[in-house]
Amino acid sequence: MNASLTRDELAQYVDHTLLKPESTPEDVQRLIAEGAELGAFSVCISPNLVPVEVPEGLKLAVVCGFPSGAHAAEVKAAEAAHSAAAGVDEIDMVINLALARTGRFDEVEAEIRAVREAAPNVLLKVIIESAALTDEQIVAACEASERAGADYVKTSTGFHSTGGATEHAVALMAKTVGGRLGVKASGGIRDTETALKMIAAGATRLGLSGTKAVLDGLDA
């Protein structure tokens, strides 16, 4: 496949991800070894599996309020604080979708800020579950994330019935944050073509579980 990115460059977009609830510490060790071998930017795991050591050059991310987002803000903040204390580099939190779908974006902002304040030195990505929102709600969720001090907005958990990332949602999110925040596309990205389309639409990070298959579509 012809592309402007090399395999190594594409790998540096990737959060190599394992979020199956049955994942064991042994599974995580395999994930970390794979992530390092593939040259991924980070590995992303569940918070019950930290603390864990990762090699130099590989970041460690965990999820928060995952996958439903239907947790009290105080619970998300406590989970984030626990992860930060365990030494993670990044946190991917899920917003409360009910608040977003009913237009209560001041409360969405407040819960993101609670997580931000609980883990002030950790890069914060906010999962808005874009496939479950209207365009107007996507814009408002991104704006709330920026006001609350997030570093990234992220499309999806990959667990919601409405689906994962789309080029349209990524482009809308990128336009809304205007380069001030990063944009992570996640959910349903299983081949190189889709990954490159997400980057072309404005994604600055990709959440992948099948990282090797995506990278194998590019010449080294």
Compute φ and ψ for 121, nearest 5 degrees: -105, 15
Long-range pairs of 60-63 with CB within 8 A, sequence gap ≥ 24: 60/87, 60/88, 60/89, 60/90, 61/15, 61/88, 61/89, 61/90, 61/91, 61/92, 61/125, 62/88, 62/90, 62/91, 62/92, 63/19, 63/91, 63/92, 63/93, 63/94, 63/127, 63/157
> Which residues does the annotation mark as catalytic?
92, 154, 184
